[in-house]
Structure 1
Amino acid sequence: MLTHDEKRDYIRMDVDCDITYRLADSDQVNTGRCTTLSGAGVSFIANRPFDIGLALEVSILPKTPITPPMTAFIEVVRSVKQSDGSYEIAASIKSIKGN
């Protein structure tokens, strides 16, 4: 029998792949590193902080071609400066963008 102490509605998976992100009202696209992904949220490394509540559009680009990319609209819930000067951004997924 499998047991775990996960209190979340969705299990968080560690990932290591490219992510692009942009402000919802901007055409400027930036690149970061996706670190975790779940059915309800995502975290990634960015070169700047974002205010809590800010809306972004992200595209997660898996390393393998058998996993399709995913584009989603997210809302920032946390922005933490890392020791190397980058920022860990945690966000809730508000919707998945369809084709």
Structure 2
Amino acid sequence: MSISDKSYHEKRDFIRMKIDAPLEATLTGDMGTYSGACTELSGGGMQVLLDTALVEGSEWEVNITSEHGHSPQLRAIVKIVRVEEKTDAGYPTGFQITEVIN
């Protein structure tokens, strides 16, 4: 099956991976730090669950670590592209990765 045979919602540049990793998000400019969980990760973005609804369009630095001490960790600058209504687990939030930090 070629990509043109797939339905529209599956036409992505990167495959999404389901994960469960702790996330720390710091607002660019040191305006605050929030913790949550990264639930999906791809080469272009991620979905996270946060306790606080953040502002769409704002930029953040995120750090994803492994609870098992695995390396490498992921540090990146992201832009918030979507904030969904709160669920029991938190606010599902879509981040677009704009830069990976070494």
Alignment TM-score > 0.5, same fold: yes
Aligned to 1:15: 19
Q: CA deviation at 1:28?
A: 3.1
Q: CA deviation at 1:81?
A: 2.0
Q: 2:52 aligns with which of 44, 48, 52?
A: 48
- Separation of aligned partners in 2, 1:7 and 1:39: 14
- Separation of aligned partners in 2, 1:10 and 1:85: 25
Aligned to 2:80: 76
Q: CA deviation at 1:18?
A: 0.2
- Separation of aligned partners in 1, 2:11 and 2:40: 16
Structure 1 unpaired stretches of 5+: none
Please tell me whether residue 26 in structure 1 is matched to residue 30 in structure 2: yes
Q: 1:91 aligns with which of 90, 95, 100?
A: 95
Distance 1:85 1:45, change over 3 A: closer
Q: 2:42 aligns with which of 18, 38, 44?
A: 38
Write the letter of the residue equivalent to 1:45: L
Which 4+ residue blocks in structure 1 deviate beyond 4 angstroms?
A: none
Write the letter of the residue equivalent to 1:21: A
Name the TM-score, length of structure 1 as normaliser. Answer: 0.86
Name the TM-score, length of structure 2 as normaliser. Answer: 0.83
Q: How much identity, in percent, do the aligned residues show? A: 29
- Separation of aligned partners in 1, 2:12 and 2:82: 17
Structure with bigger helix share is 2
- Separation of aligned partners in 1, 2:32 and 2:62: 12
Write the letter of the residue equivalent to 1:61: T
**CA RMSD in angstroms, aligned pairs only:** 2.3
